[in-house]
């Protein structure tokens, strides 16, 4: 069986069991690996040389996220009127964009998972693969990952100016400049620890405000990275933000809690929410955090709850389990380390 046929079976039988986000990622990675290795490639003959060549090409930007070759130099569209050294009009610029090791790691892990699946998927002719050809191949990780954490001071500074961030709402009428959804999005990110994409996609039908003591949110499976539905209670600040959003929606009993300003039938996009948050950071006079925007508030939420049972923190914040949360989201902080240093008990015999 060639690699293309293996991918076809994976997309047909395994991919539909994933979330919408993961299905899109599967389609992209199939294109990427097919272009890099070739559709006719025998998957059992994937070599360490090809494995490492992919790492080099992907990290350097020689291939993009869909496996297309990116030339090292090309015309700069912003300065096309300026002559280039080769006389073809326009400066030559490096068009390759390096990607981080975490991205490369995710692409390599995906291929390894697909090949593992092939060793377990049986057809009338037997298993697709007798063994995983990349078993034992090293998967590099980011040595110094950028995982900034937002502080309470940062949240309060941005929240103090967030109502000043406006949007142009045009739901069938004349465009109207109104307050954006940023304040409520920020309150929910800070108060629930959930991913921005899941918050943006919340619907009125997902709210359970009648549940004591302050209400709850049913986080649907189709917006969860792990594809799991969960019912999680909310804090008073989150309820207040939700009630404010409902008032501005004029009490509509259904639909998106944060609709797009251009179309109420779709949720506000994460890209627009990113733009609003960057604008608020500038209004607050804050420097952007290196390597993070909304995810810094997810790390803040998890780090502020290190003193609580990790299983419950992970469940409330939407992690599959405490391992990934503790490894990538909960950070050491000076106050907690001081308590550790001062909180020792003498170890005695017996």
| pLDDT digits 0-9 by tens, 239-279 | 999 999 999 877 567 899 999 999 989 999 999 999 999 99
Say if pTM beats, i.e. exceeds, 0.85.
no
Per domain, the residue ranges of the chain are 3-127, 152-298
For 152-298, give the CATH class: mainly alpha
Where do runs of H (alpha helix) occur along the chain?
A: 3-13, 20-37, 48-60, 101-120, 152-159, 182-192, 196-200, 236-248, 270-283, 295-303, 310-317, 322-328, 334-342
Cβ count within 10 A of residue 108: 20
The pLDDT of residue 67: 95
User: Is residue 316 scored above 90 in pLDDT?
Assistant: yes
The pLDDT of residue 226: 79
Q: For residues 313 and 322, give the distance between their C-alpha atoms in angstroms, rounded to a whole number.
A: 8
The pLDDT of residue 299: 96
The pLDDT of residue 74: 55
User: Is residue 88 scored above 60 in pLDDT?
Assistant: no
Contact indicator for 263, 171 with CB cutoff of 8 Å: yes
User: Is residue 80 scored above 50 in pLDDT?
Assistant: no
Q: Which residues contact 307 (CB under 8 A, 6 or more apart)?
A: none
Two tokens, residue 155: 């949240």
Contact indicator for 26, 10 with CB cutoff of 8 Å: yes
Q: What is the pLDDT of residues 15-58, one digit of tens each?
A: 999 888 899 999 999 999 999 999 999 999 999 999 999 999 99
- Regarding beta strands 207-208 and 176-179, do their DSSP bridges make them parallel or antiparallel, or are they unpaired? unpaired
Confidence of residue 81 (pLDDT cuts 50, 70, 90): very low
């Amino acid at each position: 069986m060639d690699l293309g046929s293996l991918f076809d079976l994976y997309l047909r039988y395994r991919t539909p069991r994933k979330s919408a986000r993961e299905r899109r990622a599967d389609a992209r990675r199939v294109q990427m690996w097919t272009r890099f290795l070739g559709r006719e490639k025998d998957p059992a003959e994937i070599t360490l040389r090809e494995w490492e060549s992919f790492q080099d090409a992907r990290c350097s930007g020689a291939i993009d996220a869909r496996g297309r070759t990116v030339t090292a130099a090309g015309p700069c569209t912003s300065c096309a009127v300026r002559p280039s050294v080769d006389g073809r009009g326009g400066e030559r610029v490096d068009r390759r964009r390096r990607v981080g090791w975490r991205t490369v790691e995710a692409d390599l892990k995906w291929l390894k998972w697909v090949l593992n699946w092939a060793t377990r998927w049986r057809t009338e002719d037997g298993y697709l693969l007798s063994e995983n050809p990349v078993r034992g191949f090293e998967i590099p990780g980011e040595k110094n990952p950028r995982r900034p954490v937002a502080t309470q001071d940062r949240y309060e500074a941005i929240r103090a100016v967030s109502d000043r961030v406006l949007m142009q709402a045009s739901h069938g009428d004349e465009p109207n400049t109104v307050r954006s959804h940023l304040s409520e999005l920020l309150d929910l990110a800070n108060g629930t620890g959930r991913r921005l994409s899941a918050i943006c996609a919340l619907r009125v039908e997902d709210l359970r405000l009648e549940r004591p003591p302050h209400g709850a949110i049913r986080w649907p499976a189709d917006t969860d990275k792990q594809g799991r539905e969960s019912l999680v209670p909310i804090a008073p600040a989150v309820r207040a933000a939700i009630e404010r959003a409902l008032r501005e929606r004029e009490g509509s009993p259904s639909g998106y809690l944060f609709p797009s300003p251009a179309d109420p039938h779709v949720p506000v996009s994460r890209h627009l929410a990113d733009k609003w948050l960057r604008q608020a950071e500038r209004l607050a006079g804050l420097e952007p955090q290196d390597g993070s925007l909304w995810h810094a508030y997810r790390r803040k939420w998890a780090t502020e709850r290190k003193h609580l049972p990790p299983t419950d923190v992970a469940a409330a914040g939407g992690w599959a389990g405490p391992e990934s949360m503790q490894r990538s989201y909960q950070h050491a902080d000076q106050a907690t380390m001081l308590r550790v240093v001062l909180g020792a008990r003498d170890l005695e015999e017996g």
